[in-house]
Amino acid sequence: MNVNRMDNGKSDLDSVKLRTVDKIYGKYLDFIILPDKTIISPHVPKQELTHLSGIKKFQIIQKDFSKIIIKIEKDIDYQEHIEKEILKRLDKVFHHQIVCSIEYDQQLSIKTTNKFKCIQSDVAQNFLSDNPIKF
């Protein structure tokens, strides 16, 4: 059997039957889902805020399609212009479809006991589940 033939895109494995995965059960990643149903990877907004100076810890929470709350624990070098920068960056990431608001929480680090979810989307959990609620 020659499986290394590259000339015509075919191989001698046509008779081999492979099982495929029908469904994967487990934890959903917390994607952000926009009102137009575009799915944004949680890594995108996370990357936008991770390297901003003045932020000790943050959490992005999506409770519905059109609103996101950003919880910020300020670091010692936080400056007021950082709030505008956060909102500008996330507005671009979310394609100008979601209203973001910032809440300051100086206890965010203390409240963390186990694994901290810096992106939390109740919308994605519901949207990607087996029995989603219609929004």
Per residue in 62-97, pLDDT (tens digit) is 999 999 999 999 999 999 999 999 999 999 999 999
Per residue in 9-35, pLDDT (tens digit) is 556 666 777 776 665 555 566 899 999
DSSP three-state, residue 19: coil
| pTM for the whole structure | 0.74
Strands 119-121 and 55-64: parallel
Domains and CATH numbers, the chain: 32-127 (3.30.300.30)
